[in-house]
Every structure is written in structure tokens, then in C-alpha cells.
Chains A and B, each alone.
Chain A
Amino acid sequence: MMGAQSYIAGWAYVLLSAMLVSAWLAVPAYAQEGANPAGTRLAMAPKPARGQGDKCVAPTDWMRRNHMSVLTHQRDKTVHDGVRAGPFDLKGCISCHAVTGEDGKAVTVADPKHFCRTCHDYAAVKVDCFECHASRPVEGEQSSQLNTERDLAALADYLKGKSP
């Protein structure tokens, strides 16, 4: 019995020590939170670049949670039904959320500053879209009927009419 008790006691000591050490290591982060945000946990959170225009087509919180369902539904509507209008078309997203790089042109998904990558790299969720889709608005494309200015105007009308 003595052996079993000392076995349990031994593990209890190990656990307690581990908890104290972790608390000690975490103290600096908590202590500085008010004083110096740059050195805290918040500094690690992703900060995606602001898109164009006043606001996104839907509230940010809602978009964060639901953009994957939005994309899934929209892709079926576009591919199978030919519906290319609507606030959730992928080209609209890409053109509003394009991030400009050092050369003044929009960055592709190969650059970590790409809008989708800022969050997806942090969350370690691979984005499959850009295996096939262009990851930045392609300049000088004649063929597409989607014209950024016209679509932003249509978006603005839509938002004035019905806001989420």
C-alpha cells in the first residue's frame, strides 16, 4: 500500500509542478496585456487587410463563420445554373479583397499577405480554391462580363435596398 500511495503522490507532485511552471511562464503575457498589446497573445491573431469600399457584403462576424457555406452554395449556382450575379460571386470577393504588394500589383496566393492566407495560414486550414481559381483580379481581361465598377455599383444598390 505504501508503494501505491507514494506512486500517486509522486504523480501529484509532478502535476502540481507542471501547473506552477506553466503559470509562471504565462505571467508575462497576461501582465503586459493592458500595457503593451504588441507583446501579447493578441499579436499572434491574424489581421486580414481591409477590403475596398465601406463594408463587406455581409457583417464580418457572419462572414467569418459562414464564408465557406457561401462559397459552396455560390459555386453550385454558378457552375450548374449559370447564375453569376449576386453579392457572393468569387470574382467580387477577390477584387474587393485584393491586397497590393510592393510592386503595386495585387498579390497572388503565393504571397503570405494574400487576404485568404492571413487567416487560413493561422488556422492551418488549406485553401483549395486557388489550385484552379485565379487568386487576384486579372488586369485587362476582356472576356468577362463582370466589370468591377458596375458590380460595385450593383452591390451598393443592393445594400441600400436590403441590409443584412
Chain B
Amino acid sequence: MSKCNGGKSADCGCNSETSTPVETARRWFLKSAAAFTTIALAPNVTLLAYAQEGGAQQPGQPRGEPVTAQKRWGLLIDLSKCAEGCEACVGACSRENGWKAEGHPRTDAQWIRKVNIKNRKSGVERSLPVMCQHCDSPPCVDVCPTGASFKRADGIVLVDKHICIGCRYCVMACPYQARSFIHEPVEDQKSYAPRGKGTVESCTLCVHRVDAGREPACVEACEAAGHKAMIFGDLNDPASEISQRIAQFPTHQIRADLRLDTGVRYQNL
């Protein structure tokens, strides 16, 4: 069995009478693989040691726990209070998140816009802010090839711009024209709202504020302007103001027939 000549042969390199070259090679491979794997994993193990785990979120502290599906964030917009010509929400979103008109209205980003509608038969007019509807079955999430367009556990639909390749399929797929592709180089981004050329973006429901326990900028601005047309809250919590209002009065989802179950609802449309 031994091809080694009992370990006396210089060619063999093994130290046992019964080891064959194949077994020796196998041993060497396993040792090297174990060493290699240990070295490769060591930084990650150390990383885990550094990671801040556990603990409920302290008020005023940045969150340390992943979000869960316990909450589902939504917006309710009462159109009887939404004034035509008022763009407080649009301006607030623009200042908060750092997007602005670059002089090219066709290519400029627009996270929220005021849409004016007029009934063709009756002549009734309404003005309403339209932004990403944060659907429960978002078509933009379905079509994204890399998974950059995703729905967070708490219902906010976001673009992970680290893996967005800028294919614009989600812009094609959105039934609300809510997504914008960034057509020009961007400078002076806000530190909490990163955005850059070649990726796609849309309303984030001010996720950086929501994670800190605050309201989206548009809701705050509407309150500050005295209209109070927008309410933000947890749709899963029956005691929240938004849930109570939805339970009390009929509300409307844009393109409800698509059964996307949007997080943004409208009243008095």
C-alpha cells in the first residue's frame, strides 16, 4: 500500500509508513483550507464583536434595532384642505432632501408634485400632492433586476442606490410616475439624503426622520402652512389618528383597481 518506502524516500514528503502521497496531499489541502478560511473569516468575526447589538431604541438615539413589520407607515391627505396653488409640501421636500430644479423640467428630479385635476363632465377641480404611494405590492420592486428597489419591513418603498444600476425599468413600471432618474451630476447632497447621477430615486417618506421618530417634511410643512391636510401615522395601529380617520370616512387610493394597496390614501377626492 505504501508508495512511500516507509517514509524513507525523499520524494514523498510524508511522515507515516502508511500515508500515500494522495493522503498527504489531502491532509495538506485540508490544513490549508482551514487556515485560509480562518484568515478569511477572522475579520468578519472581529466585526461581529464590534457591532452594537441588542437594546431597545433609546429616545433621541439613533436606532439600533432593525425595523419590523409591526408598523406600516402611511399618509392620509384630505383634499378638502389641500389648497390649489399651495406648494408648501413640494418646497419642504425639496429643501429637506436636496433636490431642486436645475432648469430642465423634463429631466429634473421631482419627488412630490401637485397635480391639478378637473372633471371633464362636471367641471369639479381638485389639487392633490402625488408622490411615491408606498404600495404594499409595489410594481417597481417586482421589476428591479438587482433588487435595489425594495420595500422595507415597515412598508416604506426605497431605492438602495448602492446596487441601483440605473436601468430605469422601475420608472417604466411605476403607475404613479413617482420615480425620477438623476440625469445630471449632483453636488452638495444632504448627508441624510444621499443621491447621485445615474441612479433612480423617489419619495422616501423621509425615512431618516421617521427612523428618528419624526414626521415627513411635507406633513410638517402642511401643518406649518395652516392647512393640516396631511396626516402621517401607523396604519397597523388602530389607535393612531390615521387609522381612526380611515375607519371613519371613505378614503381613496389612486388607481385602486390595480390592487396595489398603497400606503398613501386620499380623502374627499
Q: B-contacting residues of A (Cβ < 8 Å)? A: 57-58, 62, 65-66, 69-70, 73, 75, 77, 79-89, 91, 94, 131-134, 137-138, 141, 143-146, 150-151, 154, 158, 162, 164
A82 to B194, CA, bound (A): 15
**A residues less than 8 Å from B211 (CB atoms):** 82, 84, 145
Quick check: B66 and A134 within 8 Å, CB to CB?
no
Name which of B46, B61, B160, B213 has the most chain A CB atoms within 10 A of its CB. Answer: B61
Name which residue of chain B comes closest to A79, CB basis.
B160
Quick check: A70 and B47 within 8 Å, CB to CB?
yes
Name which of A62, A134, A141 has the most chain B CB atoms within 10 A of its CB. Answer: A134
Partner of A131 from B152, B190, B196, B209 at Cβ < 8 Å: B196
Quick check: A134 and B62 within 8 Å, CB to CB?
no
B interface secondary structure, majority: loop
Q: A-contacting residues of B (Cβ < 8 Å)? A: 43-44, 46-47, 49-52, 60-67, 96, 150, 152-154, 158, 160-162, 186, 188-192, 194-199, 206-209, 211-214, 217
Partner of B212 from A80, A83, A89, A145 at Cβ < 8 Å: A145
Quick check: A86 and B190 within 8 Å, CB to CB?
no
A158 to B50, CA, bound (A): 9
A80 to B189, CA, bound (A): 21
Partner of A158 from B52, B209, B217 at Cβ < 8 Å: B52
Q: What's the nearest-Cβ distance from chain A to residue B196, in Å? A: 3
